[in-house]
């Protein structure tokens, strides 16, 4: 088996202002340890996938940052998107590059900014998934595998995957099921019902498939993309590659791989996992991940800070000392240029702050 990885690293991470910025977005921040999230993502898969087989898709302004964080990555393995258009175009482009190098590759697709605690179990899951990717379904198609995280609470910030309950394959430890449906971020009542019914999993955004399987899905489900994808394939190693990729991005509409492909495919398979995972999608999500990782302190204080009569708070300190007195459930982030104070339950609203700063030219 020839195993490759495609890491998606083009996001701005607006929910992590004021630490994140256009010049230094979320994937380059050290939020869950001493290393940046993108560095952790690469290190996590290196025992299984050699660096020459790892490709990172990002936008041009982050090429230098990517190579600074992953200096051993061959420069040609940094694939530049002309513009960010969500995960489907990114995956299509990256897959075609990998396919041009290895026609029978199995590819693990990963976001650059997620956190996973049990890396040994994660690698075991990838090994099982890679083996599964080469087993045909009864339909004769190879599966499109998505990792589904076993939910621990009725979380409304994640998408959900429902399995049919029909077992595709098992090795006695790992089980894979045919997917019945996807649900975008539900309300609390719906999420609570999903947990009660069972058979639902958080959508991790981590995928495993043969390159030929996902390319075939693009051709059959998004046939209007096919001429542009064929043009990329024909020019992938030529001077015309840049024009082919730019033409593709200019002509197509943005969309996620889930909405555009996986929800419409009849060969989508969910591989349930139980390891601790987070998309680290907000300050609240970061707080929850750190607490689930074994932190027993009432308040999590990173940097210079002190808490008095306060509970369930997260402090990210900078040059100044941050002092909490008589508060609960707040996040305080002190950076070089700004200070953020918010209730954890309002973490998603940080994007609105960034939009206002964008309007005034202060988000750079």
pLDDT tens per residue, range 23-49: 899 999 999 989 999 999 999 999 999
The pLDDT value recorded for residue 363 is 61
Are both 39 and 185 inside the same structural domain?
yes
The pLDDT value recorded for residue 46 is 98
Mean pLDDT of the chain: 93
CA distances from 271 to 121, 146, 177, 203 (A): 13, 6, 7, 10
List, in sequence order, every residue forming a beta bridge with 146; answer none if it has no partner: 207, 270
Residue span of the structural domain in which 131 resides: 2-281
CA distances from 214 to 139, 185, 230, 302 (A): 15, 24, 14, 42
What is the C-alpha separation between 330 and 87, in angstroms, rounded?
A: 32
Q: Considering 281, 305, 333, which residue would you say is the last residue of a domain?
A: 281
Q: Considering 281, 300, 319, which residue would you say is the last residue of a domain?
A: 281
Q: Residue 19 contacts by C-beta under 8 Å, 6 or more apart in sequence?
A: 29, 31, 316, 333, 335
Q: What's the rounded mean pLDDT across residues 7-15?
A: 87
| Helix spans in the chain (H) | 37-45, 63-69, 87-101, 119-132, 188-197, 211-221, 226-235, 241-251, 257, 283-292, 350-360
**Is 3 a residue whose pLDDT tops 80?**
yes
Task: Evaluate the CA torsion angle 276, 281, 282, 283 in order and state its sign.
Answer: positive
Give burial (CB, 10 Å; 0-12/13-18/19+) of 308: exposed
Are both 249 and 319 inside the same structural domain?
no
What's the pLDDT band for 59 if we cut at 50, 70, 90?
A: very high
Q: Please tell me the total count of domains within the chain.
A: 2
Are both 209 and 325 inside the same structural domain?
no
CA distances from 171 to 28, 124, 271 (A): 36, 11, 12
Q: State the CATH number of the domain containing residue 167.
A: 3.90.550.10
Are both 236 and 297 inside the same structural domain?
no
CA distances from 270 to 9, 129, 182 (A): 23, 10, 11
């Amino acid at each position: 088996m020839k195993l490759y990885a495609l890491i998606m690293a083009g996001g701005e991470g607006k929910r992590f202002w004021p630490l994140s910025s256009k010049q230094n977005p979320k994937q380059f921040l050290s939020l869950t340890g001493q290393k940046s999230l993108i560095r952790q993502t690469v290190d996590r898969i290196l025992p299984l996938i050699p660096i020459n087989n790892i490709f990172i898709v990002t936008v041009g302004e982050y090429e230098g940052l990517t190579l600074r964080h992953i200096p051993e990555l061959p420069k040609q393995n940094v694939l530049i998107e002309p513009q960010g258009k969500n995960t489907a175009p990114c995956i299509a482009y990256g897959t075609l590059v990998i396919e041009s190098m290895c026609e029978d590759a199995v590819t693990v697709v990963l976001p650059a900014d997620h956190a996973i605690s049990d890396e040994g179990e994660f690698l075991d899951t990838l090994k099982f998934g890679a083996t599964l990717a080469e087993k045909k379904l009864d339909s004769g198609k190879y599966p499109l595998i998505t990792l589904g995280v076993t939910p621990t609470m009725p979380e409304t910030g994640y998408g959900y995957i429902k399995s049919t309950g029909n077992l595709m394959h098992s090795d006695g430890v790992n089980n894979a099921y045919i997917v019945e449906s996807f649900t975008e971020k539900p309300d609390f009542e719906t999420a609570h019902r999903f947990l009660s019914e069972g058979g639902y999993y958080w959508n991790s955004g981590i995928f495993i498939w043969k390159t030929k399987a996902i390319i075939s899905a693009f051709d059959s489900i998004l046939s209007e993309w096919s001429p542009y994808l064929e043009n990329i394939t024909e020019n992938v190693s030529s001077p015309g590659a840049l024009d082919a990729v730019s033409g593709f991005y200019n002509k197509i509409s943005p969309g996620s791989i889930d909405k555009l492909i996986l929800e419409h495919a009849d060969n989508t398979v969910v591989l349930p996992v139980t390891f601790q995972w987070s998309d680290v999608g907000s300050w609240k999500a970061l707080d929850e991940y750190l607490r689930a990782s074994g932190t027993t302190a009432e308040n999590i204080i990173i940097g210079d800070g002190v808490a008095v009569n306060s509970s369930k708070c997260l402090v990210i300190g900078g040059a100044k000392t941050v002092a909490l007195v008589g508060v609960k459930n707040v996040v305080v982030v002190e950076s070089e240029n700004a200070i953020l104070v918010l209730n954890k339950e309002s973490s998603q609203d940080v994007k609105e702050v960034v939009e206002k700063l964008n309007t005034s030219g202060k988000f750079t």
